[in-house]
């Protein structure tokens, strides 16, 4: 493994554990694949808060709309076999549709350009208020025809992918779940992924959880319901490891894939931009894409009842990151970006040099924590409380053992000032000075806070003491 990558993989779990602590998320699983091989799998928190069940990398998650990437891969596989064309109208395979719906092509359905309703007249299945729709329910919603004209804009439609699932059944003569499990999932070497719930007995499963509010606490959401006719849009269940390997295999230069190179490129080709969004996002065929700094990524997201997930592949770097969270307010979207920012920083700056290597660790003050990340010839000061811990990171130059200078900092920072490490009697770093701010290990700062502030707190039942707070100028 490249040394820069090993350094990044060492830091990502430490940063993510801090994020879990700050956000009080129930659980999170992360996997990183590099050039087709898993190089990191980690899990934090709980699979089920009510039972106190610890989360492991082997726990399966509802990965929801990641299903669309599997479904799109299935159609492209059938195209490679000469059994279907992307410009085939779906009505050729699924009879009895509204004429305008029937004329929608497979390419339009896969790219969300057919103008169809997103989730029907009653989307209660997403709030766990009713079962997911069967084929009759999907057909009833689509009997009203398209909502807007096709090929006018990106308009996401789970019902559109349900139609693709029905088309796959008509083309193959098999149930969607059976054909795709064999021809796409198993053929990709995935052992922890299935097209829908329920799971086999004994398979570890991460339950969903509500957000903390409005109850002031989280409740467990079973999340093991069959998605029926919507499996092609949202049914899949899997692990972060399997998703990282699968999306990595869809990169055009992947050494092993269930699809030919031309099909992979077609899946990832940007077709529709989400123009009404502050995020620069595009949709291809069952894939979402965007740019993080100068890294172009492709992948998908997923939102199920109490579960938020995301996977992103950066083909130019051979990297894929998958983050799965089991809460309705899960932070997987931002945490994938954060992990990519960490990987990019180490890729750019290199592995720690011998001179910079001693400058490491997490250091605390009244204002929180910073992480020292040694790279080649310098040290980055990360803020682990941020979704991107390296946003506007201060840089340190090492002048001598234990002494250095802030070589780059924002205008409101301490640019140009000295830094130093204090050492105890055993030669271990015991404090870090960032300019004029002395930072210590967490336990030492916690002890200081208790001594200064908890001791001054009134005893239970004692009258509150009003203290005048002096005004300060920033």
Retrieve residue 125's tokens. Answer: 């299945």
Q: Would the pTM count as exceeding 0.75?
A: yes
CB 193 within 8 A of CB 311: no
pLDDT over threshold 50, residue 401: yes
Retrieve residue 421's tokens. Answer: 């490490």
pLDDT in tens, 338-375: 999 999 999 999 999 999 999 999 999 999 999 999 99
pLDDT over threshold 60, residue 460: no
Please list, in sequence order, all residues whose beta carbon lies within 8 angstroms of the beta carbon of residue 140, skipping any fewer than 6 positions away: none
**CATH architecture group of domain 26-330:** 3-Layer(aba) Sandwich (3.40)
Cα dihedral 169/79/87/71 (nearest 10): 50
Q: Of 70, 65, 68, 152, nearest to 104 (Cα)?
A: 152
Write down the residue that tokens 């029907």 correspond to.
120
pLDDT over threshold 60, residue 376: yes
381-387-389 Cα angle (round to 5): 10
Question: Whole-angstrom Cα distance, residue 273 to residue 270?
Answer: 8
Question: Whole-angstrom Cα distance, residue 311 to residue 300?
Answer: 6
| Residue 1: per-residue pLDDT | 79
Compute the Cα dihedral for 87, 194, 127, 96 and give only its sign: positive
Tallying the residues shown for the chain, one arrives at 474
Distances (CA, A) of 66 to 59, 107, 156, 300, 437: 17, 18, 14, 6, 46
Question: Whole-angstrom Cα distance, residue 431 to residue 369?
Answer: 13
pLDDT in tens, 15-68: 999 999 999 999 999 999 999 999 999 999 999 999 999 999 999 999 999 999
Q: Where are the domains of the chain?
A: 26-330, 361-454
Question: Whole-angstrom Cα distance, residue 30 to residue 244?
Answer: 9
Question: Whole-angstrom Cα distance, residue 273 to residue 289?
Answer: 9
- CA 226 to chain centroid: 24
Question: Whole-angstrom Cα distance, residue 275 to residue 71?
Answer: 25
Retrieve residue 418's tokens. Answer: 């000295």
pLDDT in tens, 278-293: 989 999 999 999 999 9
Retrieve residue 201's tokens. Answer: 């007995």
pLDDT in tens, 203-224: 999 999 999 999 999 999 999 9
pLDDT in tens, 106-156: 999 999 999 999 999 999 999 999 999 999 999 999 999 999 999 999 999
Write down the residue that tokens 């979207």 correspond to.
333
Query: In the structure, what pLDDT confidence band is assigned to residue 445 with cuts at 50, 70 and 90?
Result: very high
Retrieve residue 428's tokens. Answer: 């271990």
184-190-194 Cα angle (round to 5): 70
């Amino acid at each position: 493994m490249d040394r820069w990558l090993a350094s990044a993989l060492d830091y990502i779990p430490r940063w993510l554990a801090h994020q879990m602590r700050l956000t009080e998320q129930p659980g999170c699983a992360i996997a990183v694949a590099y050039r087709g091989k898993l190089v990191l799998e980690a899990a934090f928190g709980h699979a089920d808060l009510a039972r106190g069940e610890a989360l492991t990398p082997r726990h399966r998650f509802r990965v929801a709309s990641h299903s669309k990437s599997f479904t799109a891969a299935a159609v492209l596989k059938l195209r490679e076999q000469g059994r279907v064309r992307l410009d085939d109208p779906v009505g050729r395979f699924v009879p009895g549709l509204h004429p305008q719906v029937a004329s929608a092509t497979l390419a339009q359905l896969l790219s969300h350009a057919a103008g169809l309703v997103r989730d029907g007249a009653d989307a209660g299945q997403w709030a766990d208020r009713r079962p997911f729709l069967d084929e009759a329910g999907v057909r009833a919603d689509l009997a009203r025809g398209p909502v807007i004209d096709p090929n006018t804009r990106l308009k996401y439609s789970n019902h559109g992918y349900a139609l693709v699932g029905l088309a796959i059944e008509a083309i193959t003569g098999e149930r969607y779940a059976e054909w795709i499990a064999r021809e796409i999932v198993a053929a990709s070497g995935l052992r922890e992924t299935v097209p829908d719930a329920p799971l086999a007995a004994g398979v570890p499963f991460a339950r969903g959880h509500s957000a903390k509010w409005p109850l002031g606490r989280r409740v467990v959401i079973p999340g093991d319901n069959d998605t029926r006719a919507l499996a092609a849009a949202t049914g899949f269940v899997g692990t972060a490891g399997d998703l990282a390997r699968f999306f990595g295999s869809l990169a055009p230069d992947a050494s092993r894939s269930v699809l030919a190179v031309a099909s992979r490129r077609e899946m990832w080709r940007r077709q529709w931009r989400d123009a009404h969004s502050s995020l620069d996002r595009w949709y291809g065929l069952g894939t979402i894409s965007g740019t993080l700094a100068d890294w172009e990524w492709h992948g998908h997201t997923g939102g199920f009842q109490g579960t938020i997930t995301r996977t992103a592949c950066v083909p130019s770097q051979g990297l894929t990151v998958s983050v799965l969270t089991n809460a309705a307010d899960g932070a997987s979207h931002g945490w994938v970006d954060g992990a990519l920012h960490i990987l990019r920083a180490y890729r750019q700056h290199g592995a720690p040099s011998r001179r910079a290597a001693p400058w490491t660790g997490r250091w605390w003050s009244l204002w929180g924590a910073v992480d020292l990340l040694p790279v080649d010839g310098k040290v980055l000061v990360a803020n682990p409380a941020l979704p991107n811990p390296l946003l506007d990171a201060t840089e340190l130059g090492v002048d001598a053992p234990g002494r250095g200078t802030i070589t780059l900092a924002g205008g409101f920072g301490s640019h140009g000032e000295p830094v130093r490490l204090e050492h105890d009697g055993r030669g271990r770093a015991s404090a870090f000075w960032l300019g004029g701010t002395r930072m210590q290990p967490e336990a030492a700062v916690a002890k200081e806070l208790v001594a200064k502030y908890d001791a001054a707190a009134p005893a239970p039942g004692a009258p509150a003491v009003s203290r005048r707070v002096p005004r300060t100028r920033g």
